[in-house]
């Protein structure tokens, strides 16, 4: 894919244009896609996009492992300095656990689905922060049809590939812990912040989820980040303004949790 092969959406911000250039420059000429190659690609993408931010975190980073019956899960524990420590966020894929006054969960894309699924099954979670979440794997919302062009990067073929590689059979996507729209007991969910990328095939999942939360009486807020694509949030080196807008929304939301 080259940027000259299609007319770029005029809604792209300057940051989204930089991301598009970087994304296409790192693409492999091979058509073979595996979970390992996709993971390596996004690791390279994040490293390249955020290289100027390496070493700028004001705090301590600990790399640890959580042992379970079935897996050894690597986690990073980030402890900022000179901040209010009465709240903790467990971010999927990553995070940490410690005694604190308030505990919430957060995640982006499928990580947002994991976060809200955890809230369905684990008691006493105080808030959830869901960044461009993928909540229904039937892909029936209008935005999946709106953003099929290659310039949006989350192409229909990639969506199909992801579903095929993520689930063992067709029964999984009907599980309410995975396709959370199927959960009929949303009223016990905690206050929720939904952050949405405007130019994202998964965009309308967040709007649909907000409607369901509204009907269930769950306190929630949706923040739309205009002109950006899926997966902008872990790329502050490319999306400084968009990430700052999202972080400001998160900061305001967390300050409202009492």
Superfamily of domain 3-255: Alpha/Beta hydrolase fold, catalytic domain (3.40.50.1820)
Distance, first Cα to last Cα, the chain = 48
In the chain, domain spans? 3-255
Mean pLDDT is lowest, of 95-99, 136-140, 186-190, 211-215, for 95-99
Within the chain, residue ranges assigned H as helices are 14-26, 35-49, 110-121, 142-146, 156-166, 203-216, 240-255
* 93 preceded by a cis bond (ω within 30 of 0): yes
> CA 86 from chain center: how many Å?
24
For residue 77, give the 3-state DSSP assignment.
Answer: strand
Per-residue confidence at 187, pLDDT binned at 50, 70, 90? very high
Give the model's pLDDT for residue 88: 67
Q: What's the pTM?
A: 0.75
Q: Write the pLDDT tens digit of every residue in 37-86.
A: 888 888 899 899 999 988 888 888 888 888 877 777 778 888 888 777 66
């Amino acid at each position: 894919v080259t940027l000259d092969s299609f007319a770029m959406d005029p809604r792209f911000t300057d940051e989204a244009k930089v991301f598009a250039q970087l994304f296409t420059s790192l693409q492999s000429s091979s058509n073979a896609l595996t979970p390992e190659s996709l993971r390596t690609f996004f690791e390279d993408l994040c490293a390249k996009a955020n290289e100027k931010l390496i070493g700028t975190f004001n705090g301590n980073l600990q790399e640890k492992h959580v042992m379970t019956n079935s897996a050894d899960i690597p986690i990073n524990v980030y402890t900022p300095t000179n901040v209010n420590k009465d709240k903790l966020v467990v971010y999927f894929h990553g995070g940490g656990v410690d005694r604190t006054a308030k505990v919430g969960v957060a995640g982006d894309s499928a990580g947002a689905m994991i976060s809200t699924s955890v809230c369905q099954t684990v008691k006493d979670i105080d808030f959830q922060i869901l960044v461009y979440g993928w909540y229904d794997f039937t892909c029936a919302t209008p935005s999946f049809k709106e953003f099929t062009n290659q310039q949006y990067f989350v192409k229909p073929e990639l969506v199909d590939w992801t579903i095929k590689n993520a689930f063992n059979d067709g029964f999984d996507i009907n599980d309410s812990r995975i396709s959370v729209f199927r959960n009929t007991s949303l009223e016990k969910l905690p206050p929720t912040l939904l952050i949405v990328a405007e130019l994202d095939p998964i965009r309308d999942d967040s709007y649909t989820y907000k409607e369901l939360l509204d009907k269930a009486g769950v306190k929630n807020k949706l923040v739309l980040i205009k002109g950006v694509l899926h997966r902008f949030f872990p790329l502050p080196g490319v999306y400084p303004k968009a990430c700052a807008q999202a972080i400001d929304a998160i900061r305001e939301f967390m300050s409202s949790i009492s």
